[in-house]
């Protein structure tokens, strides 16, 4: 039972780290353009994760097939997903984007069923996925859905990013033979190889003069919200399974509300309170015993 509590605690921490990333992006992006900010995020995370590997006495894989898998996982989890989201969020309100971006558990259910990756999911997990999404809509307000159907291509891009997150959660099981730190480092190395040259070509970052605050925000985004978060993510892919780890998407919107209450003096409305409760219940249903897609090779508590 202790192991279950640890995994669920890590799931909450992952939601906190990824949910707070929007705050740090907002603090940095006014002075650091988006492609450069993402490049700083992934390259800093890669350096951090390589240090973690050294301290743990771990090595990067030598098998070309592992590097091919890591490249595809990097496209799913960072390169492709982040580029789609960054492009789409230029044209879509942040509230609607947060709802669309929270649909990755739904895509885990749909894609997993279409590809017959496991037995049919339990009804409680389907209910949990639907309830969690409804909770997110309540948290951000159903008014956010008013723009649904406008800027269709941008909205489809954000949904595409969420679908790639779902693919990453499912495909991550292919890396279950690697320690989570190795998977995280390999994914960030590929992202760095792809995004740093794009930043140099498109945005000429050597001409920038960001403030200390912007650089600090970018630094925490890189180390905390990416490096540490990915260590947790790949552990949870092995222990809670794809749908379980994807369920943190429903908690991220709640993280934003709580951070606003704690640091900005905002208040939580009754609608948001109901939404928070619905999101939590949805996550509990998804992660109840007999998790769908849980890897048989890695029991709870393994790394």
DSSP 145-199: GGGBTBSHHHHHHHHHHHHHHHHHHHHGGGGTTS-HHHHHHHHHHHHHHHHHHHH
The DSSP secondary-structure symbol of 59 reads -
Question: In angstroms, rounded to a whole number, what is the distance separating the alpha carbons of residues 122 and 33?
Answer: 44
* Cβ within 8 Å of residue 170, ≥6 positions away: 108, 111, 112, 115, 117, 242, 293
Residue 147 scores a pLDDT above 80: no
Q: Between 119 and 298, name the one with better pLDDT.
A: 119
Residue 39 scores a pLDDT above 90: yes
Question: In angstroms, rounded to a whole number, what is the distance separating the alpha carbons of residues 102 and 132?
Answer: 9
For position 256, what pLDDT does the model report? 66
Query: Six-digit token pair at 30?
Result: 């006014």
pTM: 0.81
Question: Among 174-178, 195-199, 256-260, 278-282, whose mean pLDDT is lowest?
Answer: 256-260
Residue 59 contacts residue 53 (beta carbons within 8 Å): yes
Phi-psi region of 92 (alpha: psi -120 to 50; beta: other; left: phi over 0): beta
Residue 235 contacts residue 303 (beta carbons within 8 Å): yes
Residue 215 scores a pLDDT above 80: yes
Residue 295 scores a pLDDT above 50: no
Mean predicted confidence (pLDDT) in 136-145: 71
Q: Between 176 and 292, name the one with better pLDDT.
A: 176
pLDDT grade for 278, boundaries at 50, 70 and 90 = confident
Q: What is the mean pLDDT of the chain?
A: 82
pLDDT grade for 74, boundaries at 50, 70 and 90 = very high
For position 291, what pLDDT does the model report? 44
Residue 108 contacts residue 157 (beta carbons within 8 Å): no
For position 56, what pLDDT does the model report? 95
Share of the chain above pLDDT 70, in %: 83
Q: Between 269 and 108, name the one with better pLDDT.
A: 108
Q: Between 182 and 290, name the one with better pLDDT.
A: 182
For position 299, what pLDDT does the model report? 40
Q: Between 147 and 193, name the one with better pLDDT.
A: 193
For residue 121, the SS3 value is coil
Neighbours of 32 (CB within 10 A): 26
Question: In angstroms, rounded to a whole number, what is the distance separating the alpha carbons of residues 250 and 293?
Answer: 19
For position 248, what pLDDT does the model report? 86
* Cβ within 8 Å of residue 207, ≥6 positions away: none
Q: Between 292 and 224, name the one with better pLDDT.
A: 224
For position 298, what pLDDT does the model report? 41
Question: Among 42-46, 148-152, 172-176, 296-300, whose mean pLDDT is lowest?
Answer: 296-300
Residue 289 scores a pLDDT above 70: no
For position 143, what pLDDT does the model report? 65
> Rounded to a whole number, what is the distance in angstroms from the first to the last CA of the chain?
17
For position 246, what pLDDT does the model report? 84
For position 91, what pLDDT does the model report? 78
Neighbours of 260 (CB within 10 A): 15
């Amino acid at each position: 039972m202790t192991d279950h509590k640890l995994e669920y605690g890590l799931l909450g921490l992952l939601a906190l780290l990824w949910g707070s990333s929007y705050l740090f992006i907002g603090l940095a992006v006014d002075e650091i353009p988006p492609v450069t900010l993402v490049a700083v995020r992934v390259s800093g995370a890669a350096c951090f994760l390589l240090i973690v590997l050294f301290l743990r006495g771990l090595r990067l894989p030598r098998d070309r097939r592992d590097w091919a898998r890591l490249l595809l996982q990097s496209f799913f989890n960072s390169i492709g997903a982040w580029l789609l989201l960054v492009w789409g969020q230029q044209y879509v309100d942040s509230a609607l984007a947060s709802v669309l971006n929270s649909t990755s558990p739904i895509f885990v259910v749909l894609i997993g069923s279409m590809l017959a990756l496991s037995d049919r999911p339990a009804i409680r997990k389907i209910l949990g996925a639907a309830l969690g999404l409804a909770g997110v809509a309540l948290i951000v307000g159903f008014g956010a859905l008013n723009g649904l159907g406008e800027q269709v291509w941008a909205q489809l891009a954000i949904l595409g990013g969420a679908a790639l997150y779902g693919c990453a959660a499912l495909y991550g099981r292919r890396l279950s033979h690697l320690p989570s730190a190795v998977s995280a480092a390999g994914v960030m190395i590929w992202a760095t190889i792809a995004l740093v040259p794009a930043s140099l070509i498109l945005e000429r970052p050597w001409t920038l003069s960001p403030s200390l605050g912007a650089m600090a925000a970018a630094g925490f985004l890189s180390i905390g919200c990416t490096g540490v978060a990915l260590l947790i993510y790949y552990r949870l892919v092995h222990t809670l399974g794809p749908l379980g780890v994807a369920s943190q998407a429903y908690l991220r919107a709640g993280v934003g509300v709580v951070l606003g209450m704690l640091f900005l003096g905002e208040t939580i409305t009754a609608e948001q309170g109901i939404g928070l409760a619905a999101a939590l219940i949805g996550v509990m249903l998804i992660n109840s015993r007999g998790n769908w897609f849980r890897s048989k090779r890695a029991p709870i508590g393994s790394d």
